[in-house]
Amino acid sequence: MGWMRDETGLDKCAANHVALTPLSHLRRAAHVFPDQMAVIYGDHRVNYAQYYDRCTRLASALAAMGVAPGDVVATLIPNVPAQAEAHFGVPACGGVLNTINTRLDVGTVAYIFDHGEAKVALVDTQFIDLAEAACAQMEGRPPNIIEVPDTAAGFPATGRHPLYEDLLAGADDNFDWIMPADEWESLALNYTSGTTGRPKGVVYHHRGAYLMTMGTVVSWRMVMHPIYLTIVPLFHCNGWNHTWLMPMLGGTIVCCRDVSARAVYDAIANEGVTHFGGAPIVLNMIVNADNTERRAFEHTVEIFTAGAPPAPATLSKIEALGFNVTQVYGLTETYGHVTECYWRDAWSAVKGGDRAAIKARQGVAMPMMEDITVLDADMAQIAKDGSVQGEIMMRGNSVMKGYYKNPEATVEAFKGGYFHSGDIAMQHPDGYIQIADRAKDIIISGGENISSVEVEGVLMGHPDVNLAAVVAKPDDKWGEVPCAFVELKPGAPEDAAALIAFARETLAGFKTPKRVVFQELPKTSTGKIQKFELRKTAATL
């Protein structure tokens, strides 16, 4: 079907078929834009020739350490140059990049090291203690740690591990990059936030990341030489693939280690930042900045926001400051954003709250996706009336290969030929998707996903707790925070501070409940906790 009658001699060959990979973007940029600024971080300023050289040396050094094609290299690094370099240097030696959330607890990092079988870990000095403690808890062989100090930020080398810059200095600058023979080869391993317990390992392929970079350029209306500020952590879906994208346009990455209103305004005013992504909490931070933090700028700054719909009032205020916000939506399993709230010309006259309400929709499929829609339990299209609800489902090239070492979960996620997002939404008559709820009780706090099941499990470990349920409580700063409802054992004291401190011993800070309410939990006749009732209560606290 679709073939010509005579296809003799029309085969794939080296001249007409090359595996798609984002590595190609940097190899090309080193030739086309050698003197163009590539990466900025304080006094660290490198052009594309230097960026390519540093990534090449990293690939060479990792190969010399025994990293073979298919081996995993982990990172525990904030948004600094070494993290950007790892995005090219690790796959350039055939390795699979595993960027780990620096906010995770020791036990979870140990699990990820074990499950991914990381051979090497590049670790910022700020997180050396975390990495060492995780290695001590591992069941398998721990990774070799390479320390990435940041003296200017107050994190000088500990002296306990080989140093990143020494590694690059001693490496071969003529190392021949190992490009994928097949674009389906694994590029990255990213772990979910563990919405049903242990996090799942999501595997990306080279093709999906390459097409993600192409689709983003179209949807973000990008032109040559954008200047991108790394607000989105590079451990979140590889920074939504933006680090892989920038070399294609000769763009500049401005690294931001610690996100603050002052840092954002300074980067825009001093470096001319044109684009960044961020959760709604970042928008609130910009809007609420005081006059000592704000800087004047004359150009429009484009923002992709995701994680939760931003409040209409926030959208209205931020546009007046010189920012244009586009709502996008995606998951770890889809390399980041795969829908966009594309702004139609017909809406140009819409103002105020109505305009913000439209902008808060998750929107329509981006160009690299084949189909994104809302289906019911029987895989049938729901009515596009803005009220009937179903599950967001998607298919396209920027969907993961599957869950690492978890074929059962992979089959379940791809049932019916679509990826099942688990997010509940409605569709408007124009096809635009709008999230209504989250099927798995995920709490999204400051752009971070929190598993209510995980937090409940920790609280249930306290000797005074009989039953615990955790739901999202609306929060002006973080969007949502965990709120715990607890039934105590008879005679136990109502000590909220003690429970929070107990949870903090195990959980990362952002996962720890911010409010504890002591009460009998509402249940169905079969004993199932009625979380919808708890959400109503939490919304009033």
Amino acid 528: pLDDT: 59
- At 490-524, the pLDDT tens digits run 899 999 999 999 999 989 889 999 999 999 988 75
- Give the predicted TM-score (pTM) of the model: 0.86
SS3 of 268, please? helix
SS3 of 100, please? coil
Tokens representing 338 are 């795969």
Residue positions counted in the chain: 541
| Interacting residues of 294 by C-beta distance below 8 A, sequence separation 6+ | 261, 265
Q: 3-state SS of the chain: helix, strand, coil percent to 5?
A: 35, 25, 40
- At 229-275, the pLDDT tens digits run 999 999 999 999 999 999 999 999 999 999 999 999 999 999 999 99
Give the residue among 104, 101, 130, 100 at the shortest CA–CA distance from 118.
100
Across 105-114, 147-156, 314-323, least confident range: 314-323
pLDDT band, very low/low/confident/very high, at 299 (cuts 50, 70, 90): very high
Q: What percentage of the chain reaches a pLDDT higher than 70?
A: 96
| Interacting residues of 284 by C-beta distance below 8 A, sequence separation 6+ | 310, 311, 314, 476, 477
Tokens representing 80 are 């600094």
- At 20-32, the pLDDT tens digits run 999 999 999 999 9
DSSP 192: -
CB crowding 347-382: b at 16 or more within 10 Å, else e:
eeeeeeeebbebbbbbbbbbebbeebbbbeeeeeeb
Question: Is the pLDDT score of 389 beyond 90?
Answer: no
Cα-based angle 475, 476, 480 (whole degrees, multiple of 5): 30
The class (CATH top level) of 442-540 is alpha beta
Domain boundaries, the chain: 442-540
Give the residue among 96, 87, 95, 164 at the shortest CA–CA distance from 125.
164
Amino acid 454: pLDDT: 77
Tokens representing 93 are 């030696």
Amino acid 179: pLDDT: 98
- At 395-405, the pLDDT tens digits run 999 999 999 99
Cα dihedral 192, 196, 198, 200, rounded to 10, equals: -40
Give the residue among 57, 55, 53, 99 at the shortest CA–CA distance from 76.
99
Beta-carbon neighbour count of residue 182 at 10 Å?
9
Amino acid 526: pLDDT: 45
Across 16-20, 162-166, 193-197, least confident range: 193-197
β-strands 301-305, 275-278: how paired? Answer: parallel
Average pLDDT over residues 207-227: 97
